[in-house]
Structure 1
Amino acid sequence: MTAASAKLLIDSFERVREVVAEVLDGLTEEELGWRGADGRTNPIGWLVWHLTRVQDIQVAAVAELPEVWRAQGWQRAFALPYPAGASGYGHSGADVGRFTATAEQLAGYHGATHRQTVAYLAGLHERDYARVVDDAWDPPVTLGVRLVSTLSDDLQHAGQAALVRGALPRG
């Protein structure tokens, strides 16, 4: 039986998936790459890719699974001009400006990452959340803390993507 905490996390990651689906719905590559009136805003496409990369990297690491990005061929499919392990952290404005993808690619990658996340979460027990997954911090980071911080990051970026979508020029 899935732990109550796992059910809550699954529901939370499902909410991220729903926002991503709504944000991407019907957008063109041009709209996905729009950088705001000032030309410096992080575009919807990059935000969705980044939040998905963060989730993929963090969950794969704690679950001891391969990243969906590499294992399922998404890195090749996107063919981005970034190093193989890039997630968007530390990207300059110029780096962000080089991002291109279709809504279908982004939805596909996010869906595959979501499925791996949910499958992992469904197998967790309450005792698992106290497991230390990163002792480079003081205090050491537990699985529960890592999952919540990943979810928090995803929700923030999904909200940013929704905000940018709302600001798209109407034509």
Structure 2
Amino acid sequence: MNSTELLADAFGRIQEVVHDAVDGLTAEELAFRVDEGANSVGWLIWHLTRVQDDHVAEVAGTEQAWTAQGWDARFDLPFPAGAIGYGDGPDDVAAVRVSSADLLTGYHDAVYENTVRHVRELTDDDLDRVVDKRWNPPVTLGVRLISVVSDDLQHAGQAAYLRGLLMRRR
């Protein structure tokens, strides 16, 4: 297995957890928060997908699926189109009301397809390309992609945990 196959596999695992976390949840369950300061399943999955979409589109030099495929209009959230959830407070989290699990997985699947298409075209040498000079040391493409995988898996795991709490309440 080479590096890009490994990355594609990692993003596929995220996709599996995303689908499992939201499968069969109602709009109310997707918006459930254990308290006013907590995240919801809907916000967590929207956010992790927005981060992946934003970061991968940037390094690929493409438009995000969010705007290119009209997901921003379908979600109809009260945020600017470029919002990804970073730094959101409790009111912002509460504003992410998703009509269905299918909407979340549809957007995530579109981002996954874009991600895997880009990742499969990379070589090991590409992973050493500097993509962000604002850090010391500068961030390479490989580090950026692993950062996205790490962040997404953490949020997907949080969503899966919340799903477990919701299932106990049924």
What are the residue-to-residue correspondences of 1:116-131 with 2, within 5 Å?
A: 116-131=114-129
Q: Which residue of structure 2 lines up, in the alignment, with residue 69 of structure 1?
A: 66
Cα pair 2:66 2:72 within 8 Å, conserved: yes
Offset at residue 116 of structure 1 (A):
0.2
Counterpart in the other structure of 2:150: 152
What count of residue pairs does the alignment treat as equivalent? Answer: 168
Q: Is residue 2:7 matched to residue 1:9?
A: yes
Cα deviations across residues 117-155 of structure 1 (Å, max 9, x unaligned)? 000001011110100001111111000000000110000
Asked whether 1:92 is paired with 2:94, we answer no
Letter in 2 for 1:30: E
1:170 matched to which residue of 2? 169
- Code of the aligned partner of 1:44: V
- 1:41, 1:4 → 2: CA distance? 39
Tell whether the 8 Å contact from 2:77 to 2:96 is kept in structure 1 after alignment. yes
Is the partner of 1:163 in helix, strand or coil?
A: helix
Q: Which one of the candidate residues 88, 96, 105 is aligned to 1:107?
A: 105
Aligned-residue identity in percent: 54
Q: Please report the RMSD computed on the Cα atoms of aligned residues, expressed in angstroms.
A: 1.0
Partners of 1:90 and 1:119 lie apart in 2 by: 29
Please, what TM-score do these two structures have when normalized by structure 1?
0.96
| Partner-residue secondary structure (3-state), 1:164 | helix
Secondary structure of the residue that 1:126 maps to in structure 2?
A: coil
Give the C-alpha shift of residue 40 in structure 1.
2.7
